[in-house]
Structure 1
Amino acid sequence: MYLIHATLRLAPGTGVPDDLGPRMRALAAPQDRLEHVSVHAGARPDPVVGLYLVADSLHDAEARARTLCLRTVAELPGLAGAEVALVGAPLITEYLWDGG
Structure 2
Amino acid sequence: MSDTDEVHSWHLPRLIIAWAVAAVIGVLVTVLEHDAEQRFAWLALAIGASTLVTFGLQLGTAQREGFITRTAFSVAGSVVVIAVIDLIGLLVG
Where on the TM-score scale, by shorter chain, does this alignment land: which range? 0.3 to 0.5
Rg (Cα) greater in structure? 2
Q: Give the TM-score of the pair, scaled to structure 2.
A: 0.42
Q: Give the TM-score of the pair, scaled to structure 1.
A: 0.39
Q: Which structure shows the higher helix fraction?
A: 2
Q: Which structure shows the higher strand fraction?
A: 1
